[in-house]
Structure 1
Amino acid sequence: MHLQSMMRFWTTILFALLFAFPLIQGKTLKEWQQFAKDARKECAEQLELSDAEFNNFNSTLKEKNNLADFTAKQRCFMKCVTEKLTGESMNDMEKFMGRTKKLLDEIPFNISSTKKEKLSEIIIECQNLRGENDCDTIVLIQLCEKEKLQKFDFATDDKGDE
């Protein structure tokens, strides 16, 4: 996967989606990406996001760096997508966050074990952040992951272990 594409995937989907998902096991990366796209569309419909809000969400996510930059609807959209992808409710955060590391093995990214280890470290560093509600919490976690991912040099080794 091209470096920019991988970073875009991690910073727009994976921060919400750096959580394991048992039903996706054994699927290809393309199938995972389709599942994520479907989850996003379903959440957009549930939350009645306009087409513009839905279509601009990825660029919006990249541009925002603080919880206050997100509308309540955008925060809950991120929570909805994350819960759909993990197959877990945020009601049990330990279980919800516990699935995180599994995702790195379940989704067939062609990345090195060093990168997987670094991603796992980032998840652990951010997992205890909490907001006033679950919608705020997931945004805080994702913003933390985004910040740390941007500091990590993925370009040093963009091939998986052979």
Structure 2
Amino acid sequence: MTENLTPAAEPAANAENRMQELVDAGVPEHLRPWLREMGVGALVVKMGIKFVEMSAERIVATMPVLGNTQVAGILHGGAHVVLAETLGSFAASIHAGANRHAVGIEVGATHHRSVASGLVTGTATALQLGRTLAVHEVVMTDEQGRRLSTARITNLIRDNA
């Protein structure tokens, strides 16, 4: 199991960089203090994921196709899953609240169509927000609103040690 949203093992001098990372990724101002110690993560930055809306019930972000393609020139299937897991994990962590954390325990995706350019939008919607489990469905669409893939992610909610 992977612990989601654990503090980054970086020098304190990078705290200012992490705050800028949060701004650049579109994290709403009210969530920045919560994420200031960990940022959004290197993979989120590398993939170009930008948050549009963030809550436990619904989280929306975009990701460019450019730079995230496979050899055939279309968005890599793994990039779909990275976006889905990012959204589900952040939403579950928001739901977990103070002194708790989310641990991803399952993710699966079905790819419906390919895309070779533009922005992909991922929308995670809560299916279950319980005391110990959070389940989100994540739908990725292209700029025309066509469904590209559907994923489901389950996170275990645990108390901090």
Tell me the TM-score normalized by structure 2: 0.32
Counting strand residues as a fraction of each chain, which structure ranks higher?
2
User: Which structure is higher in RCO with an 8 Å CA cutoff and minimum separation 6?
Assistant: 1
